[in-house]
């Protein structure tokens, strides 16, 4: 596995691969890797000759300085996990390399970003779209792999790819969970014992809500029941629970026949902000 630190080195690596007929898969991450990330690498490995993972804790997508400061950073452990999973190159740039000058780019994803993560983390998707656009330009991958755990992020990136005519395919992989249902997340490392013990409640609430959606319980009622369950747990502070159209991400007043529903939540648990979602087809 090659370690690449500059945009020029990344571009040269993938350009050579493309010119020799190799397919390039890109797996953008912020590191502190777990099986959710490794699944993306393995999916890329199954479909591409070269698999480029990126690790960059992107400052422009953090709306909370403390969250950025405390974001887990374990570069040596990450590198050791990637090669066995099938990664052939790892791009680990500095902030100066990614942002040689302060960015003034502004994206507007319309209604897609006025809800959930976009509404609760001002500027977040502007930062995500900025760094993902840069990575796409630097690496020119055939395919880029993202996790369903960040459902809204995938919707935003698909819109970005369409709007800017990036010549690549977005591949989405399912959410990988711990045995007790907790969605794997780098931020889980920051949970202390009591918080970790409560954490599976997030998925339990979503699973119960999904069952209600399948039974036709109205969205407002599903949402209220989920919020009430979360609020009963003293360690948890729910930020939002949403019952939304899985494609448009807009909150639902009623179900539409044949349209998938996504149930999304964000909650603070012992000082750590976690998100999760499930889709009801
Ligand atoms: N449990 C998971 N299952 C599948 N994909 C995941 C999972 N967790 C993260 N991913 C995906 O991995 C990619 C990199 O995500 P990221 O590095 O932010 O990890 P993370 O675990 O989501 O961390 P955090 O949520 O704490 O920022 C994203 O496409 C994300 O959706
Ligand atoms: C896509 C991404 C790597 C951009 O920094 C990040 O938002 C993430 O890890 O999901
Ligand atoms: N996985 C999304 C990255 C973030 O929380 O900033």
Task: Give residue-wise pLDDT tens across range 27-63.
Answer: 999 999 999 999 999 999 999 999 999 999 999 999 9
Averaged pLDDT, 206-211: 98
Average pLDDT over every residue of 99-126? 97
Q: Average pLDDT in the 179-192 region?
A: 96
146-170 in b/e form (b: 16+ CB < 10 A) is bbbbbbbbbbbbebbbeeeebebee
- Let me know how long the chain is: 281
Question: What is the distance between the alpha carbons of residues 35 and 176, in angstroms, rounded to a whole number?
Answer: 7
The pLDDT value given to residue 128: 98
Binding annotation for (R)-pantoate: 61, 153
Question: Does residue 14 line the site of ligand 2, with CB under 6 A?
Answer: no
> Percentage of the chain with pLDDT > 70?
100
Closest residue CA from atom 23 of ligand 1: 186
C-alpha of residue 6 to centroid of ligand 3, in Å: 23
pTM higher than 0.95: yes
Average pLDDT in the chain: 97
Residue that is written with structure tokens 């300085």 in the block? 65
Average pLDDT over residues 164-185: 98
Paired residues of 261 in beta bridges: 245, 280
- Residue 166: its pLDDT value, please? 98
Q: Which among 259, 258, 229, 230 is positioned nearest to 244, based on CA atoms? A: 259
Q: How far is the CA of 147 from the centre of ligand 2 (A)?
A: 10
Q: Are 151 and 277 in contact (CB under 8 A)?
A: yes
223 CA to centre of ligand 3 in angstroms: 23
CA 148 to chain CA centroid, nearest Å: 7
Active site members: 37
Indicate if ligand 1 lies below 6 Å from the C-beta of 147. Answer: yes
Task: Report pLDDT for 214.
Answer: 97
49-98 pLDDT, tens digit each: 999 999 999 999 999 999 999 999 999 999 999 999 999 999 999 999 99
pLDDT in tens, 119-168: 999 999 999 999 999 999 999 999 999 999 999 999 999 999 999 999 99
CB 36, CB 42: distance < 8 Å: no
State how far the Cα of 113 lies from the Cα of 152, in Å rounded to an integer.
Answer: 8
ipTM score of complex: 0.97
Per the DSSP assignment, residues forming a β-bridge with 52 are 26, 89
CA 170 to each of CA 53, 132, 136, 233: distance values in angstroms, whole numbers, following the listed order: 15, 12, 11, 37
Q: Is the CB of 38 under 6 A from ligand 1?
A: no
**CA–CA dist 175, 275 (Å, integer):** 12
160 CB under 6 A from ligand 2?
no
pLDDT at 235: 96
Mutate to test the pocket of ligand 2, among 26, 150, 185, 277 (most ligand atoms within 8 A of CB): 150
What's the CA gap between 77 and 90, in Å, rounded?
A: 13
- Provide the pLDDT confidence category of residue 193 given band limits of 50, 70 and 90: very high
- In Å, how far are 92, 99, 103, 207 from 127, measured between CA atoms? 18, 11, 9, 31
Q: Which residues are annotated as part of the binding site? A: 30-37, 61, 147-150, 153, 176, 184-187
């Amino acid at each position: 596995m090659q370690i690449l630190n500059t945009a020029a080195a990344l571009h040269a690596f993938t350009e050579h691969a493309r010119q020799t007929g190799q397919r390039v898969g890109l797996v953008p991450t912020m590191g502190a890797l777990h099986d959710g990330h490794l699944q993306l690498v393995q999916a890329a490995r199954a479909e591409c000759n070269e698999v480029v993972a990126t690790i960059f804790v992107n400052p422009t997508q953090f709306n909370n300085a403390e969250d950025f400061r405390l974001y887990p950073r374990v570069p040596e452990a990450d590198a050791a996990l990637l090669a066995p999973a099938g990664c052939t190159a790892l791009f680990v740039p500095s902030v100066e390399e990614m942002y040689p000058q302060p960015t003034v780019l502004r994206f507007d994803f319309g209604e897609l970003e006025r809800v959930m993560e976009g509404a609760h983390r001002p500027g977040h998707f502007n930062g995500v779209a900025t760094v993902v656009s840069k990575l796409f330009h630097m690496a020119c991958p055939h395919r880029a792999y993202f996790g369903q755990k960040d459902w809204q992020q995938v919707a935003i990136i698909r819109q970005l790819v369409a709007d800017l005519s990036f010549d690549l395919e977005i591949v989405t992989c399912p959410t990988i969970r711990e045995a007790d249902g907790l969605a794997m997340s780098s931020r889980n490392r920051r949970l202390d014992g009591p918080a970790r013990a409560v954490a599976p409640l997030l998925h339990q609430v979503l699973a119960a809500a999904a069952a209600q959606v399948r039974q036709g319980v109205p969205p407002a009622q599903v949402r209220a029941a989920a919020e009430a369950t979360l609020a009963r747990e003293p360690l948890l502070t729910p930020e939002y629970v949403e019952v939304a159209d899985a494609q448009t991400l807009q909150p639902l007043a009623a179900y539409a026949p044949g349209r998938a529903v996504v149930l999304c939540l964000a909650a603070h648990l012992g000082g750590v902000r976690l998100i999760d979602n499930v889709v009801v087809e």
